[in-house]
Chain A
Amino acid sequence: MAYVAIADRDHHLHDPTTFIEKYIWSQDHKVIAIQYGSVAIGVGLVALVLSLLMRLQIGFPDTFPFITPYNYYQFVTMHGMIMVIYLLTALFLGGFGNYLIPLMCGARDMVFPYMNMLSFWVYLVSVIVLLASFFVTGGPTGGGWTLYPPQTVLEGTPGHQWGILLMLLSLAIFIVAFTMGGLNYVTTVLQARCRGMTLMRMPLSVWGIFVATILGLLAFPALLVAAIMMILDRLIGTSFFMPALLSLGEINGTSGGSPILFQHLFWFFGHPEVYIVALPAFGIVSDLLSTHARKNIFGYRMMVWAIVAIGALSFIVWAHHMYVSGMNPYFGFFFATTTLIIAIPTAIKVYNWVLTLWRGDIQLNIPNLFAIGFIFTFVHGGLTGLFLGNVTVDLPLSDTYFVIGHFHMVMGVSPVMVLFGAIYHWFPKITGKMPNEFLGRLHFWMTFLGTYAIYLPMHYIGILGMPRRYYAYGSTDFIPSSAHSINEAITIAAIVVATAQVVFLINVFYSLRKGKQAPDNPWGATTLEWQTPQTPPVHGNWGPKLPIVYRWAYDYSVPGEAKDFIPQNEPPKGHHSLASS
């Protein structure tokens, strides 16, 4: 069949000519990545402020009259949903996925650039719909980020009028946006790699993003199904999830619906979602550690297999979020077993990161600080996950601060550490400027130590039995006054960590304006994105010829070589460079 490869076409691919085409309705993956990233960070800051408001209430109850129980639950819900979906998923896949996949695979762009552009704009609509719920009657939903029916749609729950509808609608729109982006990421990895870039030569960042996208494409439909059915329950009174019940003394019109069905659907999405966030982080941190320790990644094949295995296993562990839902104990046994099995490939990855650092020429650059910090926070959060994965241990710990400590460590702080590491690492390539060293280090230490000060004590008060989701605790026998003091300390630490993020923003804007000009490859990295003819890369990425890849992505400190890194597109000795077509 006659087909003209994109690189050989005589016209340039969707070449932008006007300002609007270049920066607004842009089809260039790099611009879309920055758009995705900016919106995600913007909405993430909203979620950060919400978490501070929550912490102020818990640390200093009866001090802030504007935080009512009603508002408190709205803050909890919106904080969770924004952070997990609209910040982490969007920034890792929409942001870094978009930026890195074509550059690391040696492509000029995504394979469906128009759809890629639509993906961002639809994502923006989903964010606007979500934020609009702050301004409607009743405000945003306060049903908790898991949105469990029946309480989310019943009178008495904050936002049961409009908030819940806008939340579900926004999620549905987000899923449409994600699907358009995801089709691009998967197809680009499968179809648009440059010559010589075999799957097993791809950097682990691309592997992580690739497998996470597949998870997202298969798991998000579960959330869509749940959202559609709950919208119908709420709007036209179907009874998919709504059982017959008494609400405020009156018998509800619905009957026979199954709230547990919603929980299954939600967590069939919800658990893979953890890995949708974690796998790109695993991939990116592998590249950061290898580059900044000047050593090849330890066990590359194992790392790839582990990513694939974790991705597959993540679909059969979802009900470990539902041990207290009254499900069949044999189910609990099954899901506890799969949960423990998934710890094996995860542990392999942790060992390999540590062994990559072992006897490496470790450069304590800012990205590496965050990457090493990630190993700490992830091991910490992962180990507490083993506690909660066991049914018998989970039952007493369920719904306590131990759970908050666990999941914030493992899928809050850890991915965020990688995100910051990644932003500092690729900042020179994305902007052409070096980030400020002092501010970056200050940001790291405040964030790293600060988050430990927040989440470590939470495990302790969780074991004491302090329940989560409470607006105020009053005076009870089982919560000693020392626990209240700890809560005050945690809140102060939270304020410090939030301030550190202001330092980060100052660094970004300061470095953009006054930062040192970045060289093409400041970290001496091997992967293709550092070998572009221009920094930042221009439209089309590679100039007239696509790169050709001759080696894997981890040729650092190769014995007998003059340089301590060999770029992927450097031919082996005695090998004539091939002219690219």
Chain B
Amino acid sequence: MLSALLIAMLTAITVWWLLIQRLKDKPWTKQGVLPTSQETVTSSAPKVGLWVFLAVVSSLFGLFASAYMMRRVGHGGLASWQPLDEPNILWINTLVLVIASGAMQIARNRIDNDDLNGGRSYFLSAGLLTVVFLAGQILAWQQAHANGNVGADNPAYSFFVLLTAVHGLHLIGGLFVLGRTTLRIFRSVDAANVVARSRIRTSVQLCTTYWHWLLLIWLGVFALLLST
């Protein structure tokens, strides 16, 4: 519940921070076109959209984390919580996801500099590493199963599978977009179409942000799992 409170406060602060400058306007005193006004849909619309979506995703994981902590402390339910022996492979998986995020960043830097050829292999590797991460997570489930203390009646195990699965599903969603963008990159490497290249740049930037954020969320989830 504490983290739920924290989310609420962070949200309030963010909204306040976003609006503070503009909320002081006295609109009834000024007429004419004001300098702060916007023209029309700008290139940042997809980015804003992504950040709003990431806020939703963060809220989802934050609430899962709250539920995790409340359930662990329990309401007289301590007996049923048997701490899990976290599978060691999770460390390797984490490393793989960090490298994937790094590769994504390199791809982004190169493609931002109009070097589609140089960027695409990194972009593709980021995708492949993510697939490796997901396979690793499935191995982790098997390892956890082998370690014992499993079964539907141990909430520690249920939460472990649930949190990794929900995180994995978000990555799979990302992989879908990554796949489409990769196809677009391979199609237009040689083409000089400015609009197509601009769209690719935007897509790669969005993917990079998404991957970094999901890495952060995974680190948070992993820390939460390790803490018990």
Contact = CB atoms under 8 A, between A and B. Distances in A.
A308 B16 contact: yes
A191 B38 contact: yes
Interface stretch (A234-242, A346-354, A378-386): A234-242
B41 interface: yes
Given A2-B198, A199-B19, A315-B11, A229 B40 contact: no
B48 to A, nearest CB: 5
Interface stretch (B64-72, B122-130, B175-183): B64-72
A243 B44 contact: no
Given A183-B52, A200-B23, A218-B7, A191 B37 contact: no
A456 interface: no
A315 B8 contact: yes
A260 B153 contact: no
Nearest to B38: A193
A311 B41 CA distance: 26
B75 interface: yes
A1 B43 CA distance: 9
Contacts of B67: 225, 229, 240, 261, 265
B158 A256 contact: no
Nearest to B61: A221
B198 A1 contact: yes
A284 to B, nearest CB: 19
B60 A221 contact: yes
Interface in B141-169: 152-153, 155, 158, 162, 166
A229 B152 CA distance: 12
Interface stretch (A131-139, A152-160, A550-558): A550-558
A301 B155 contact: no
B71 A240 contact: yes
Interface residues of B, number: 62
B25 A200 contact: yes
Nearest to B25: A200
Contacts of B44: 191
Contacts of A6: 40-41
Contacts of A4: 195
B56 A229 contact: no
12 contacts: A3-B198, A111-B45, A191-B41, A191-B42, A193-B38, A222-B4, A240-B158, A257-B80, A261-B71, A261-B75, A265-B63, A300-B28
Interface of A: 1-8, 107, 111-112, 179, 182-184, 186-187, 190-201, 214, 217-219, 221-222, 224-225, 228-229, 232, 236-240, 243, 253-261, 264-265, 268, 296, 300-301, 304-305, 308, 311-312, 315-316, 546, 548-552, 554, 571-572, 575, 578, 581
Given A195-B33, A225-B60, A256-B74, 18 more contacts: A3-B43, A7-B41, A111-B45, A179-B53, A186-B48, A191-B48, A192-B41, A195-B38, A195-B40, A199-B22, A200-B26, A221-B59, A238-B153, A240-B71, A255-B80, A256-B80, A258-B75, A268-B4
